[in-house]
Structure 1
C-alpha cells in the first residue's frame, strides 16, 4: 500500500455551542504528495482554516485524523510551519532576530552560533530581505514583513508549509511579487505547501491542485481540480492561455454555484460572460 506524504482521513470537526454541537467539517479525505502545492478555496465559513489547523496540530479532529510521514499529527511541531495573513513578527526584534528566534528553537542542539547566523542570512536571501536584516518590523512595509514571515517559516526546514491567506492584506503589485517569490522558492526547495486563498487567479497560478470546499455547516470537499500547467509559470504568458482560462472558469463556476445556488439543484451550465464577471465581482466582495 502506497504511503502518502500527508493524509487526512475521515476528518470531522464539531464544536460545542450554546445551541448544541456545530459540525464544521464532515468526512474530509485528502492525500498530498511531497513537493505538491495545494490550495484550499471556498466561501467564508466553509472550514478551510479548520482543515489547516488540524494539519498544524492546533485542533484535534472529532473523528478521523491527520498523518504526516506515517506519524499521527496531534500537536504543533516544527515540521509544520505556519504563515498567517498577519506576519506575526515580534515588533521589538529586528528582522534578523525574528528569524533567528525560530532557528534557535528548532536547531539549537544541532547548529553552532556561526552556522546559525549563516542559516538566517541564507533564508533572508531567499526572500530578498538581507538588506533589511537590522530593521524592526515597524520600519519596513507590510509586504517586506510578510517576506520575513515566510523566511522565518522556511528557516525551520518544515516538511509542510501551511499558509493562511498569506497575501490577502497586501496590495495587488506586492501580492504579485510575493507570489512570484513563493513560486521560485517552492520550485527550488521542492517544499510541500498547503495554502488557503480567496483569490482564484492566485490559486490557479500557484497550485498543482485546487481543493474546493462546499459551504458549511458540515463542509466537505466538493471538487478537486488538477492544474496541469508547466513550471516555471509566467503570469503574463498564462493570462490568455486556454488551459489557464479553463481552470479559472471551472473554479469560478464552482464558487458561483455554491454562492447563488446552494441547493443541489445548481444549473448545469455557467452564466453568460457578462453575468459571470458580475458574479466574480460579488464573490470578490463576499469572499
Structure 2
C-alpha cells in the first residue's frame, strides 16, 4: 500500500485558484478555475492535464512567481505573497549560465535578496552537499557545454537542493530526456524527496511518469480547466506500474481526459 500522508503536516495549500489571460480584444480568457490543492510534508503530487489548461502557470502561482486572478496560496499556513526561501522551482529547461562551471551554477542565487543570508563557508557546504546528492562530484569544474542533457538536469536539480527547500516545484523537468536518463532522474527525485522529506509538485504530460513517482495524482481537464479526478497511488517505490490496480487508474485517467475534451473512443481511433 502507498504511504498515507493524512497525519503529515500540510506544507503547501492552494485555495480556489483562478487563472485568466486577456485575449486580443482585452476580454478575459479563463484557463483554470476553482482549483484547490493541499500537499503534505514528503508527499509527491503529480499534476496531469492537456496542454493549455494552465498547469505551468499554476506552478508559477504556487511558487509565488505569478499572481492568480483569484485564490490564495499558503506555505505553512502563511499566505504566499512572492518568492519564498523554502520553495524551489525546477524548470523544463536546465537554464544553466554558460559562463559558470557546474559548481558555480549550483551556487547561483543563494545570495539573492529573498534567500536567507548565509556565510561563504555555509554556501560552499550547501553546494558540495547538493552536488553529491545528484552524483556529479566528478564534474564540478565542467561548463554547461560539456554536460549531457541528463547531467544538465541534475545540475538544475542540485541548484534547487542547495536552497534546502521544503517544497520542490517541477515543470516537466525530464520531458526532453531519453527514456533511460529520464528513468534515472525519476529515481533520483524519489531518493532525494525521501532523504530530506521534501514535498514535491510535479507537472507532467506523461501518465506513466506520474504513476511511477507520485504518491497522488490530480487531473485537470475541461475548458476552463478544473479538477476532474484525484487518485492516491498504491504501492511503495520501486513500484509495479503494470499491476491491475495501477492499470485501472491509468485507464480512468485516459477516459476522463477523453471525456473532458469531448472525444469518444471511436473518434479517437479514427483520428
Deviation, structure 1 residue 260: 4.8
Equivalence for 1:244: 246
Contact residue 45 and residue 215 of structure 1 kept, 8 A:
no
In the TM superposition, what whole-angstrom CA distance separates every residue of 1:197-253 from its partner, at most 9, and x where no partner exists? 01111001110111100133x2111111111212x314xxx1432222222222222
- The question of 1:233 aligning with 2:238 is answered yes
Greater share of helix? 1
Equivalence for 1:110: 118
Equivalence for 1:80: 87
Equivalence for 2:149: 142
Deviation, structure 1 residue 107: 6.4
> How many residue pairs end up in the alignment?
261
Equivalence for 2:29: 22
Q: Return the alpha-carbon distance in structure 2 between the equivalents of residues 79 and 5 of structure 1.
A: 10
Deviation, structure 1 residue 108: 6.9
Q: Return the alpha-carbon distance in structure 2 between the equivalents of residues 88 and 246 of structure 1.
A: 37
**220, 228, 239: which one pairs with 2:226?**
220
Equivalence for 2:258: 256
Contact residue 168 and residue 198 of structure 2 kept, 8 A:
yes
Q: Return the alpha-carbon distance in structure 2 between the equivalents of residues 166 and 64 of structure 1.
A: 26
4+ residue runs of structure 1 moved beyond 4 angstroms?
Answer: none
Contact residue 42 and residue 215 of structure 1 kept, 8 A:
no
- The question of 1:153 aligning with 2:155 is answered no
Deviation, structure 1 residue 102: 2.8
Equivalence for 1:175: 182
Query: TM-score of the superposition, structure 1-length normalised?
Result: 0.84
- Tell me: CA distance 1:108–1:41, structure 2 relative to 1, closer, same or farther (3 Å): closer
Q: Return the alpha-carbon distance in structure 2 between the equivalents of residues 18 and 102 of structure 1.
A: 36
- The question of 1:93 aligning with 2:100 is answered yes
**131, 137, 161: which one pairs with 1:130?**
137
Q: Return the alpha-carbon distance in structure 2 between the equivalents of residues 108 and 10 of structure 1.
A: 30
Q: Return the alpha-carbon distance in structure 1 between the equivalents of residues 20 and 151 of structure 2.
A: 37
Query: TM-score of the superposition, structure 2-length normalised?
Result: 0.89
